[in-house]
Structure 1
Amino acid sequence: MAEAQRRNTILAVTYSLLVVTTSWMAARFVAWQHEGWAGFYYAPAMPEEFKGKTVLFKPGTVSSVFSGGPAEAAGLVVGDVLLTVNGVPTSDWGRLAKLDDQLRIHDEITYQVQRKNGLREVVRLQLSSPLRSRQIEVSTITSLAVAVAFCVLGTIVYRRKPEDERALIFYLLSLAATTLFIVRPLVYVDEFPSRGARSPAQMTWHQVVLYFVLTVLGYLVQVLFVHLALVFPQRRRILENNPQLLRWLYLTPLLTFVGFPTLVTLSLPPRVLRAAPFGFWLLVLMMVAYLARCSTSAGWKRALRTRPGTVLGLVALLVITSMDSVVMLVPSEATRQTIAWAFGGIAFGLTYLVLFVTYSIIACVALYRSYRESGIEERKQVRWPLWGTIVSLSGVLLLKGLKALPDWFGFQRFLPIVAAEVVEKAFYIFIPLSFAFAILKYRLMEIDVVIRKTVTYSIVSGCVAAVYFALAGGLGGLLIIRADVHSTWITVGATLATVAVFVPVRRRIQNIVDKRFFRRKEDLPHALRTLHAKTTEITDLPALLNVVAEHLVQVLKVRNAVIFRKSLREQTFVPAVEVGLHDRIEPTSLLKGLRFASNTPLLASAGVAFRPPSHLPDAEQLAVRQLGTALLVPMRRGEEAIGFISLGRKLSDQDFDPDEMEFLAAAADTTASAIYNLGLRKQAQEYQEAREIQERLLPKQIPQAPGLEISGSWRPARVVGGDYFDVFKLSDSKLGLCIGDVSGK
């Protein structure tokens, strides 16, 4: 009960945040219809006090134009230089900010532009909704598709195994990625000024907050993915040997923002600004003294390794203090601002790139090492996530490179912007799809039952939702029409109220569907009847045993199944079929030469299903360990064992319950009977073929002689017999008669 409450609490909290995010996104879509959008970014033109100072970009240059936006329609291209906006010089940030605040949708803006060839032109642009842009439209649709994929898969896995650390981490990763992709369209519109007057350097406070939130979400996805790679499919030994490793992983990305405190420091009063470096250096000395004291008892390496917060804080403080000290030596205010902005931008961009590449490499290496070091049944779980991760990350990096090279060197784009959006989202979706493929292919966590449940109660609850939202929408529309309510917060509040009423109804529907359609007690008898029906018509022994093994793996959700049969020639048990053994280690090489003696102690127990005994010969003990055998099920015909079934552990790592033991006993009896009946059918077929051969040996026509009438008849006591006759014509007056009888047949 406590585990269920914990699961429901986590789901409720995370989905509430997700609903708030979605509602905010919907509210922003509505607001875009009134605020207007220019569809391009340009590099800031520096104010007068910065004239003559070195900057890392060409001031006023158009840096990005969105496909299908107003700027593209007006003729602006990357590389154009904006000189004035509605007559206001682009270096006058104060007047541009006031102009930007006054602009609304359908307003016309006039730009004086200097083209790449040096000519000056006047460009008129009319603001429109971002949703009219092909790039924004495609980005919104593809981002929501990726978000849905992450959300659905993460929820299914976590609902099935809430007690599993891997399921929880994967769920948090999925929800972080879902949130990131839901708000992804905001990057093009709300993250930086995009109304056509302000430059990105003139961000408002809510744009700064959004920028910070999106950056943190991006880092959270990376860190959670590395965390998942370190515990999937099993927790790696490095985490046991270094308990502080996860803290290092989660805290290190904060170094990205190490350049921004310098900008805040420059806004302080002059007296405080001059005293700030001394205070920072004092803090640095105090932290060094603290680490030195810790090192006396544990050593430097241990002291540094076990205190990630202190070490990373010291590194950040050293960088900030050093930069502030350098900036204070510069007499010009404009030069100090230039250095601070350049340092902040370079530190952020370089740290972001280094961390992205480093964390991606760590995730791939961790998955690969897990793949190499895992057991037979675990490797197959890692193969597809490893492949999906490598394809996704390498594809995204390659695509970003193809997108950046033309802008850096002035080449023509390899891919249209809209096509690049679709391809990039396709690469991102490889990660959840690869995990989904692993789950579906290897039937992890009883996913087939979960999917059937999800589809069933989604259809039922969808009907309820349609009725409810139709009613809510009708009442909401009436409220807007009659009361003239257009508040964003009222829209968000109405959405939350809808969810608060709908979620209990949906949960009740889910419980009814689970009780009505998915009763575990009824599954096993039905599975036994299905097995009997499948084995009745099969006429080939390997095909029969393969059907049985696959059926057991699917019904019981075990990691593998190997069926051994008794070889009459060798008087040993030999492997006949296997299902679920890892496909990279060839089952033929794993099972080649594997034999169990007919009197093996492996089957000494008289039970219908039992664990492997602990006292076995070394060779058999090694074989049982390689197969990952958790349960043995003998197949007997009377008192004689004609084979046995080796079952791996259940995917849930739970024990086999009594109902499953009873099912296995019945399945073994069904299989033994099917093998016996198959032998009878095969024997009857062989007898029939022998009878036909014998009949072909008998004469079709008996030659006759003058004065004699010769006839013959062959009627064996059983299907075949040992009698034979034939008549040969030796001459016109002589016949040869041959009669044979085999005794002891």
Structure 2
Amino acid sequence: MEGHGGLVAEHVLPGSPGQLAGIKAKDILVSANGAVTDRIAQLAREEAQTRVYGTIHYTLIRRGIRLVDVPVILAQQDESLNQGLRLIALVYLCIGFYVLFRRWTAPHSLHFYIFCLVSFVLYAFHYTGQFDLTDQVVYWSGIVAAALQPALFLHFGITFPEDRPRRRYGVLAFVYLPAVLIVALQVVAQQFWQATEVLKHHLDQIALGYLAAYYLITAVVLWVHYHRSRVPLRRQQLKWLVRGTVIAIVPFTVLYVAPFLASIPEPSLVTKLAGISLVFLPLTFSWAIVRYRLMDTDLIFKRGVTYTLATALLVGVYFGVVAVTAETAHRTLPKFGGWGLIIAVILTAQVFDPLKKLIQRRVDKLFDRQKYDYRSTLIEFGRSLSTETDMDALMNAIADRLPHTLLVERVAVFLSDQPGHYRLAKAHGFPASLMQAESTLDLNFLDFDQPDAGSHIFFENTQAALHLTESEQRSVNLLDLNYYLPCRVQDRTIAVIGLGKTTGGDFLSSEDMEMLESLASYIGIALQNARLYSSLEQKITEFERLKEFNENIVESINVGILAVDLEDRVESWNTQMEVLFALPRREALRQPLSEVFPESLYREYQTVKEQPGVHHFYKFRLQTNAGESRTVNVAVAPLVSRDFETVGRILLLEDITDRTQLESQLSQAEKLSSIGLLAAGVAHEVNTPLAVISSYTQMLSKQVRGDDRLSPLLDKITQQTFRASEIVNGLLNFSRTGTSEFRETDVNTLIRETLTLVEHQFKTAQIELVMDLSADLPTIRGNAGKLQQVFLNLFLNAKDAMHGGGQLRVSTLVNGHVTIAITDTGSGISPENMQKIYDPFFTTKSAPKEGQRRGTGLGLAVTYGIIQEHAGKIRVESEVGCGTTFYLEFPVLRKPAHV
């Protein structure tokens, strides 16, 4: 440590490099390798430069005498304790993860996980001394963890025994206050105080004393809770907590903390043992929280003591009998010598084996009392179940035997009618109301067919199954069963047995669960046998139903189906064939196909029936027995058996008469379209003479101006030519496709111009216009005329939807692309019409109200096409009675960068 004149050797450990070099306590180190060493940091710097197994030269002052060039060979620092602490850290981390993922719903499990995580940091993080960024993080993480871990430990000890902890924010804040002060002290020491070994030692003493004090306080708190608790299960938990805390803390405090606080050096082995004792703390705490098979603790303890005493008794009796037998053999048959002793031991062992079994049975009876007789017959009961074939009798036997054997209050049997779905089939100890409400139970949590499903499901608290859905939690709460065991047959769960607590309010032991898991396989086989037996009685009925079902499919299909054998006799004739040929089935069956089919169809059939594969006759003209002419598609295919042997042929006849008529209508529509194009061409040609007539008529009107007889005639001619010209221009506009020139387009300007066109109509319809156009909206590449048609269609549709007035809001924004939102407060679009609004000729304005225009059904169809042409998107959101919003999205015009 730093002292007057240099570094003073407070302690020189036996066997250390300093002791081997002759350094003694109270020696003063004034320099190392010629460098002055007033501070530990200076000595550490010289040691780092010298490195391990190098020689560093000390200059010492001993009792006023200066000793120059004392060589010290540096040894590797003993870090084996760090490895032990890392082992403890891994134990903390593994237990913390196990508690979090396996029992995260248990009270205080999250708190315990945080405690384990902080403990992992405390014991695993060790800085290297380089003090780069990573080293700084590790260093300060260790300081914070050292301050936080004892506080978390005490916090856990204060709140753990309470099922519903009271609010103790003031007390808990006081618990964490020393941790904050210790971290603050470290920060102040780092920033403002001089780095000395004395300061570091005192800081370590404060931190370690704080840790030991908090550990001891926690042990006292847990001990007090243990003596105050009246709940048996809680007392058992606290018993393990107190034991684990004492086993871990007492050796650590006595062997490590106390000597360190008193600055007393200790042997390395004692220090390591004191550190390793801390591993008992996470082990016992995790056992208490998880409480997995906690009821086995007393069972194992009692069984261990019982069997130990029984074994000692057996051994004593055995060797006593051997000794008596050997002595008797030696006296009566001295001539056999050692062979007599060997024979006596063998005979005693043979005779003693039944005696040993008898004593063991007596011990089991003494331990299990009345349950022993039931348990000894339970396996026999399981084996005898397979002989029971009546499902109801089997259910009653299971529900009656298990409660008496295991002394449980509630037992239920859930049957699986299909994989993953269960129903409550039998119950014992349940109210009648629950059995009546069986259909409302959500049993989806009984999923044992998953690859990671365990051997059973255990609910420690049926009122707090938080990992389940709300309906599943309600079912678990109503059933109040703690155990669910699957009855599997050939890796499939056919039933689940549910059991509650014992009549004494305890959980079942692991021995009970192992016996039940073995019994579940017998029950599964018995249930499967009973189910198979009952299903045999239904096989004939099921077969008939399936046969009828298949016939119904053939009869219901809208295609004529008939089958013929190898001699071309009709074997099958469905209803559609009766309608198509006007021939009843009874008259067609077993008849040669040549007498049923028209000659033309039979002749075509004969040409392909011997050829392999499927053959088709498309649009075949068929004359029926009723004198009708029908158009059909005919398919002829081989009818093969299971062995792929041809046993006949099957014919399918599809009546396509109506379809061909529709195709004819479509062809006629195409012709009309061609006529429309021709009319447009004629209109174009007529437009020229109309212009000439109009011009000459206007010239004549000027010349005969004032002539009361001719002027009115010429005016009428002019008006009619204008009217004819408008008609012709209308035909031309209808047929004209327009230009598709795309250029840079300002959407805001286009919207303003379009709104100007309909502004008067909106005022007349009492519609308020609201524009929210983004000022920095980028341009897009588009055709202004077509986009104006899109906006005009949407604006007029919005006006028609707001009959009686409303508000139209138009907004633009940029979010990676240009977006236009057009919102009205009209009647909205019904959900059934949302998928059809872009279909051509679909309109809801076939009977417009007053002030509305008649719809053509082309507005949104044209709008959709134009937007697709611009590589854009359109979507709509609407609510009936509240309004509609159309969203248009266009890609932003990417201008080339200027060089």
Q: Which range, TM-score by smaller chain?
A: 0.3 to 0.5
Q: Which has the higher strand share?
A: 2
Q: Greater Rg, structure 1 or structure 2?
A: 2
Q: Which has the higher helix share?
A: 1
TM-score in terms of structure 1 length:
0.38
Pick 1 or 2: higher relative contact order, CA cutoff 8 A, min separation 6.
1
TM-score in terms of structure 2 length:
0.32
